[in-house]
Chains A and B, each alone.
Chain A
Amino acid sequence: MSGQTLAEKNKHIVHEYTLAVQRNRDFDAIERTISPGFYNHDVIPGLPRNREGSKQLFALLWEAFPDMNVEIHDQVAEGDLVVTRKTITGTHKGKFLDVPPTGRPFRLEVMDILEVKKGKITAHWAVADLPGFWKQLGVER
């Protein structure tokens, strides 16, 4: 991997991590890639902001959306930061938060920033089109 810039290496780490947890149901990737000191700036209410919270989040998402997948549209990286523009897809087949399964498919537009230091993910920020998501499930929020 010599000759790659830090930003390119970090992009690769984020790309692999995103596919692992949002396409391949590879929970071990969390322990492997997320730093013990990780801080999640934008977390689902009620979940811890640390690495343990990420494990809980993906367990919860895979329970609710067993066919979850992700399309990565673009990545922008500079120094420690990697921005990813992506679409998460799935079908609502299990309880999500307090909402019983609707059986409906969705496409959720997401942008996130992961901070990568010495090869490990140390922080996360995200925004998502949640009104669009709930509308597709036919749920009033």
Chain B
Amino acid sequence: MGIRENKAALLDSIEAFNDPKDRQRYFTALYTPDAVIHSIPGYTPDLDGFRKYYGRLWAAFPDMRLNLEDVVAEGDVLAPRFTGTGTNTGPLGDMAPTGKRVTFAGMTVLYFRGGKCFERWGIFDQMGLMRQLRGG
């Protein structure tokens, strides 16, 4: 397994992510069952926590899509930069739906073994997303 297989898994997972009917496949298309998912405060650093985290976001933004802007590949590591878009038609925690359309930037660093990611570090512009929801 090499960079080509790892990129194929990434692209396949984004295709699943962007299809509300196929979304649960995102997790299995990209990650090993024991993958470590770092830096999402409030959730366990595993796929179970990751599913809950995205479950909450997808409830708030059912049409959420990721657009891959760039992928930097080196050895067993992929570092994608992406833009997310979505319409806030569902509740986000305690926040009632605003109906607003948002765009946010994100980056991840993904470590691969056997064509699947076993460790993920990620940050997205949560501040910018909240500003768009709250702003006029």
State the Cβ distance, A130 to closest chain B Cβ, in Å. Answer: 4
A125 touches B39 (CB 8 A): no
A127 touches B123 (CB 8 A): yes
Answer whether A85 and B72 are a contact pair too, CB < 8 Å, given A113-B81, A131-B127, A131-B130.
no
B39 touches A109 (CB 8 A): yes
A contact residues, range: 20 to 34
State the Cβ distance, A116 to closest chain B Cβ, in Å. Answer: 12
Which residue of chain B is the closest to A129 with respect to CB atoms? B123
Give Cα A81–Cα B73 distance, bound, in whole angstroms.
Answer: 10
Chain A residues with CB under 8 Å of B70's CB are 81, 113
Give Cα A37–Cα B80 distance, bound, in whole angstroms.
Answer: 25
Does A128 have its Cβ within 8 Å of any Cβ on chain B?
yes
User: B65-77 vs A: 1/0 string, CB under 8 Å?
Assistant: 0000010111001
Q: CB within 8 Å of B: which of A55-88?
A: 74, 76-78, 81-83, 85
Does A110 have its Cβ within 8 Å of any Cβ on chain B?
yes
Answer whether A111 and B105 are a contact pair too, CB < 8 Å, given A76-B77, A78-B73, A132-B41.
no
Answer whether A81 and B72 are a contact pair too, CB < 8 Å, given A109-B123, A129-B39, A131-B126.
yes
Does A31 have its Cβ within 8 Å of any Cβ on chain B?
no
State the Cβ distance, B128 to closest chain A Cβ, in Å. Answer: 8
- Count A-B pairs with CB separation below 8 Å: 63
User: B97-108 vs A: 1/0 string, CB under 8 Å?
Assistant: 000000001111
A127 touches B124 (CB 8 A): yes
Chain B residues with CB under 8 Å of A82's CB are 72
Answer whether A125 and B74 are a contact pair too, CB < 8 Å, given A130-B126, A131-B127, A131-B130.
no
Ordered nearest first, which 5 A-B pairs have the shortest CB separation? A130-B127, A83-B79, A111-B107, A76-B79, A127-B123
Chain B residues within CB distance 8 Å of chain A = 39, 41, 70, 72-74, 77-79, 81, 105-109, 121, 123-127, 130
